[in-house]
Structure 1
């Protein structure tokens, strides 16, 4: 795997460009806030009901719009100005965070309200995701896209280290309501990171022409490309069944390991592994498919071993490879999708990647929660690891 890697300094080569530095700085601060909210939402729902299945339904409501709107939103982002789209979506995301925070602080929060606001968050997020990731293609030259996508994954997952840790520290003295408010304020950093971009240094975006069949075109292209179709198969299987640990961790920490407040710290340690995994992927000039497959295996093994961890200390240790394998797989998929993409299809392929990864959550999240509540707490996590191994077996057979 070293033949396509570059030196360690090359991990951050995209940051040689001002626009990339500004954008990723805004993204980092904003996503620390987002992880505050994600962690707080899990604390809130588990506090309201104590059921993992309700956490599964919450993530289902949040990501269901991605399943139905994601590919169309990618076509929209390929057609119109991504900066304008993002400014609108960031304002709406901030409003959602403020709304749930005020309702929580005034004791007007309930599970249906959480689900309704999660659905709104999902609709706005479905529009924001392809525009946000597509904008990265305008920040650096084409030769640096793979590195920029990996750094994007580093920021998105690495912010979990700080966001989840802050949530674990602040949820006691402040409560979940103020964590939502803090997230709402954090969107100012992302808005500044968009408005402050230097137009003269932007890489011109290749706009999709009006008309045609943009959604069908991207499906046809993926089907005709062996590397892309293999990558998307892995994305769908693994993200559906092996990326739902946030649904299970609150109950595992409470029931199995006897520490209900440990959920945020479990996410923090997972985030540390995620940073390392994403940076390891950023070293590649061209990300090979076998690197993605290797990390599917790492993620699968981590799921199985954490499920049967005898205590919290062992679980913390195993969260590092869990984060590493997951982030490296995500970064690899994003990079491969851009390596294989025609310029006018980048937004749609990124959106399809998001649909494959996030759009499958409405299926896997509730399944995982129901298994945790009514079948086996351990196997609600371990079955995801088994699905990773089955995925690898199918891909090995396909590429034999």
Structure 2
């Protein structure tokens, strides 16, 4: 797909990577798998709130489902650059389904301790799953299609973010959290069936080295490549505050506005609606600048921090919903833009290791944000906690932007 700077090509949604048969197969599996991710996240968040009524515990559960990526992500990235990527994907998808099935079976006897263990298990599996997922898709298509693959998979992820939370909220309210967990398990099945038919591009041969040596080599590449280094730093500060705020929506929905599980579904869907609009624009080619950071993505980082403040100070439910939608829009615009910029010119041999670092800063640091906002909410309330997070994030983000582009 060839795009002029700033062009918007709606026809790209129907072409591009979808012309490749391997990517079409992959998309069938990933379409359902990401539905599972969002259903399980909403269900775990609701169970944490339902069983304890504690904002801090909701933040803890959200954080534990993400925190292992901070430590384990880079090591799994090394593995993604070494092992059969199809088998690795089968293992991570199958393991996630097994954990959710076990939780569903034990749900009548599940207390806070079991939820902590389930969230931690999901976090460990996710720290392997994300670098594998981000390596597999681009290796199914020619290099020229990689940026479109990133945009289309982000569109799929955020379409699920719009649909799945509403579905999860309805299922929880009408049939219970156990049924929602089984729904997640079923959504992993198509990916498990598709994987044996995929033929990803082989990695170039290289000399055998220790895991530590490969890890250091990947870190060196990320630090010495100016684009990768800047994208990682900006994503780190953005994700901690903005995406961390999106992990404590159960507290905002029920703790601040008394809207229950249905309100959680509405807020999460609002974030998904904003994210979907952003992903559609990106998939259609908006701001498709290749291997560089555009002014639009830098502005989006600051607007996203402002949206978090607006979530906290919103005096009425409709305004909170709108602020959450804007937060979701900015989160996706920044996430897709940063990932596409990195992946566009990234050698296959480094893809797993570098993208595992992106997972650390893009997903793992969300755990820190969720921990901090949840704990602060216990002390000063969820509204004030979100306002503090957004203002602090904006200050840090502004300093980093000036460091990346001093003349701006």
Shorter chain as normaliser: what TM range?
over 0.9
Aligned to 1:222: 222
User: Aligned residue for 2:293?
Assistant: 289
Asked if the contact 1:78–1:208 (Cα under 8 Å) also holds between the matched residues in 2, the reply is no
SS in 2 for 1:244: helix
Question: Aligned equivalents of 2:233 and 2:206: distance in 1?
Answer: 26
8 Å contact kept, 2:245–2:370 = no
**2:245 & 2:385 partners in 1: Cα distance?**
9
Using the TM superposition, give the Cα deviation of residue 14 of structure 1 relative to its aligned residue in structure 2, in angstroms.
1.3
Q: Name the CA distance, whole Å, in 2 between partners of 1:131 and 1:22.
A: 17
Q: CA deviation at 1:11?
A: 3.9
Shift of 1:206: 3.5
The DSSP-based 3-state class of the residue aligned with 2:315 is: coil
Please tell me the root mean square deviation across aligned C-alpha atoms, in Å.
1.9
Kindly state the Cα deviation for residue 325 of structure 1 after the two structures are TM-superposed.
0.5
1:248-397, aligned counterparts within 5 Å?
248-261=248-261, 262-282=263-283, 283=285, 284=288, 286=290, 288-290=292-294, 291-397=296-402
Comparing 377-386 and 16-25, the one that deviates more: 377-386
Deviation at 1:250, TM superposition (A): 1.6
TM-score normalised by length of structure 2: 0.91
- Superposed counterparts of 1:1-400, under 5 Å: 3-12=5-14, 13-104=16-107, 107-197=108-198, 199=199, 202-206=200-204, 209-211=207-209, 213-261=213-261, 262-282=263-283, 283=285, 284=288, 286=290, 288-290=292-294, 291-398=296-403, 399-400=405-406
| 1:75 CA displacement | 0.9
Assess, with a 3 A threshold, how the Cα gap between structure 1 residues 175 and 286 changes in structure 2: closer, same or farther.
same
Q: Distance in 2 between matches of 1:355 and 1:277?
A: 23
* Separation in structure 2 between the aligned mates of residue 209 and residue 295 of structure 1, nearest angstrom: 42
Asked if structure 1 preserves the Cα contact closer than 8 Å seen for 2:146 and 2:343, the reply is yes
Residues 227, 291 of structure 2: 8 Å contact kept: no
Q: 1:351 offset after TM fit, Å? A: 0.8
8 A Cα contact 1:287 1:332, kept in partner:
no
Deviation, structure 1 residue 24: 1.6
Change in CA separation of 1:137 and 1:205 when aligned onto 2, cut-off 3 Å: farther
Structure 1: runs of 5 or more not aligned: none
Long gaps (5+) in structure 2? none
Assess if the C-alpha contact under 8 Å between 2:63 and 2:370 holds in 1: yes
